[in-house]
C-alpha cells in the first residue's frame, strides 16, 4: 500500500500538540498511522513537508445554510450542495450538513433527496442534512417565514427522516410538536434538537426526556435564562447530556455568555456552528430569502425587520474567535470545530480526530491561524 507522510507540523493528537510525529495517509482516504518523524516508514513514503503549520482535524459544520453565492432553500440540487461545500472548504470545513430552513414539504423532500444523491455521488464533505424548521415557534421565528410553520403528520415526519445514507438533524420547538412525534423521529434515526422555541423550562425538559439531543445556536431564538423562569437556555445549561451548538462571531452571543455556557456544560458538550449564508466564499454580500433581498452590512446579516438572518461566519474565523474572544487554547477551539461536532452527530469513531483508523479529513493552519490546506478523505486542496 502506498503511503503519504505529512511531516513538520504541530499535530493535534490526544490532549495537545506534538511536533515530532508524522501522519501516514493510506491510499483509501484514511489515516494509517502516527509515527515518529524519523521512522523508516516515513522515509519510505511520499513525504509532504507542512512547513511548521498547525495540523488539525478537519472542521465539521452542522449548520450551513449556504455558501459560494448559493442558498440551499433556493437551490436543492446536488450541484448546489457541492458548490456550498467548495466554498466552505476554503475555510477548513471538511464535513458539513447542508441546512434547509423552514419551507414547504415538497422543498424539504427535494433537499433530502439531493443530500442522498450527493452522498451517493461522493460529493466531498457531505455528511447528511439539517432541517431547521418548519416545526418551530412563531414567537421565536427569527428570519424564518411563519407561513411555513406547521405540525408534521406521520407522513411528513417519515419523509423528514427518510435519509438512509447520512445523518439527519432536525431542529424543532418541543412545545410545538407532540412528544410522540419526537420519539418517532428519534426512533427512525434522526438527531432531534430544540431551537427557535418559546418553550418553558418544563416543556424543554419534557422534550429532552422524549429524546432531544441538544440545542441549535444556544441563546439565539429561544427562551432565556431568568431567575424565576429558567427557560430553554436554563434547561440547556443544566442538562449534563445534551449538546449545544454556538455561533462565535461576536454578534449572535456576547463572549461572556459563551464563557458562562462553557463553564456550565461538561467538557465537550459545546461545539461550533456557522449558520452561514451564501456570502461565505462569495464576493456578493446579498442573497434572496423568501422573496426578500438580505444583505450583510459590516459582516452582520439581518433581514428588513432587523432580525439576524444567519451569519457571514466561516469555521476558521469561528476558531480564531474562540482563541481571541473567549481566551481558549487552540487545541480546545479545534475540538469545538471538529471533535465535538463529530461526536454530537454520532460520527466520532471515524471523524473529528487525527488518529489511526480515522478518515483523513484535515486542515492545515499557518501561525496566523489562516487555512493553508485541507484534506477530505486524503485528497489535498491548497488555498491560494
Q: What angle is formed at CA 213 by the lines to CA 260 and CA 209, rounded to 5 degrees?
A: 100
- Checking if the pLDDT of 144 tops 80, the result is yes
Q: Is the peptide bond before 250 cis (omega within 30 degrees of 0)?
A: no
pLDDT digits (tens, 9 = 90+) for 309-351: 999 999 999 999 999 999 999 999 999 999 999 999 999 999 9
d(CA 213, CA 193): 5
d(CA 278, CA 110): 19
This prediction's pTM: 0.98
Q: What's the grid cell of residue 193?
A: 434538537
DSSP symbols for 41-106? HHHTSEEEEEEEEEEEEPEEEEEE-EETTEETTT--SHHHHHHHHHHHHTTTEEEEEEEEES--HH
Place of cell 436543492: 76
What is the rounded average pLDDT of the residues 175-202?
Answer: 98
What is the rounded average pLDDT of the residues 216-245?
Answer: 98
What is the rounded average pLDDT of the residues 356-383?
Answer: 98
Q: What's the grid cell of residue 214?
A: 441538544
- Could you list the active site residues? 275
What letter would DSSP give residue 263? H
pLDDT digits (tens, 9 = 90+) for 160-186: 999 999 999 999 999 999 999 999 999
Residue-range domains of the chain with CATH: 4-57+353-382 (2.30.40.10), 59-344 (3.20.20.140)
What is the rounded average pLDDT of the residues 70-97?
Answer: 98
Amino acid at each position: 500500500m502506498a503511503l503519504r507522510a505529512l511531516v513538520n507540523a504541530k499535530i493535534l493528537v490526544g490532549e495537545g500538540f506534538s511536533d515530532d510525529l508524522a501522519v501516514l495517509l493510506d491510499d483509501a482516504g484514511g489515516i494509517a498511522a502516527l509515527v515518529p518523524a524519523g521512522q523508516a516508514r516515513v522515509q519510505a513514503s511520499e513525504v509532504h513537508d507542512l512547513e511548521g503549520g498547525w495540523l488539525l482535524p478537519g472542521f465539521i459544520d452542522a449548520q450551513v445554510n449556504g455558501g459560494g453565492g448559493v442558498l440551499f432553500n433556493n437551490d436543492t440540487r446536488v450541484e448546489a450542495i457541492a458548490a456550498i461545500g467548495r466554498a466552505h472548504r476554503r475555510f477548513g470545513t471538511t464535513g458539513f450538513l447542508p441546512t434547509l430552513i423552514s419551507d414547504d414539504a415538497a422543498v424539504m423532500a427535494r433537499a433530502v433527496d439531493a443530500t442522498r444523491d450527493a452522498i451517493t455521488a461522493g460529493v466531498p464533505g457531505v455528511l447528511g442534512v439539517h432541517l431547521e424548521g418548519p416545526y418551530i415557534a412563531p414567537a421565536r421565528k427569527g428570519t424564518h417565514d411563519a407561513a411555513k410553520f406547521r405540525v408534521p403528520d406521520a407522513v411528513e415526519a417519515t419523509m423528514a427522516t427518510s435519509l438512509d445514507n447520512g445523518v439527519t438533524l432536525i431542529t424543532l420547538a418541543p412545545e410545538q410538536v407532540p412528544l410522540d412525534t419526537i420519539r418517532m423521529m428519534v426512533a427512525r434515526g434522526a438527531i432531534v434538537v430544540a431551537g427557535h422555541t418559546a418553550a418553558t423550562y418544563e416543556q424543554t425538559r419534557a422534550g429532552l426526556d422524549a429524546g432531544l439531543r441538544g440545542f441549535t445556536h444556544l441563546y439565539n431564538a429561544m427562551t432565556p435564562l431568568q431567575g424565576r423562569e429558567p427557560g430553554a437556555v436554563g434547561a440547556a445549561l443544566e442538562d449534563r447530556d445534551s449538546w449545544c451548538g454556538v455561533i462565535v462571531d461576536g454578534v449572535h452571543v456576547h463572549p461572556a455568555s459563551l464563557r458562562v455556557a462553557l463553564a456550565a456544560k461538561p467538557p465537550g458538550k459545546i461545539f461550533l456552528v456557522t449558520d452561514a449564508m451564501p456570502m461565505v466564499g462569495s464576493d456578493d454580500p446579498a442573497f434572496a430569502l423568501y422573496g426578500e433581498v438580505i444583505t450583510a452590512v459590516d459582516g452582520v446579516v439581518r433581514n428588513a425587520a432587523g432580525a439576524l438572518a444567519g451569519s457571514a461566519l466561516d469555521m476558521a474565523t469561528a476558531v480564531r474567535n474562540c482563541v481571541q474572544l473567549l481566551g481558549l487554547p487552540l487545541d480546545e477551539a479545534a475540538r469545538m470545530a471538529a471533535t465535538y461536532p463529530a461526536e454530537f452527530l454520532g460520527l466520532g469513531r471515524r471523524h473529528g480526530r487525527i488518529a489511526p483508523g480515522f478518515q483523513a479529513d484535515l486542515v492545515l493552519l499557518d501561525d496566523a491561524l489562516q487555512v493553508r490546506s485541507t484534506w477530505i478523505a486524503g485528497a489535498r486542496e491548497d488555498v491560494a
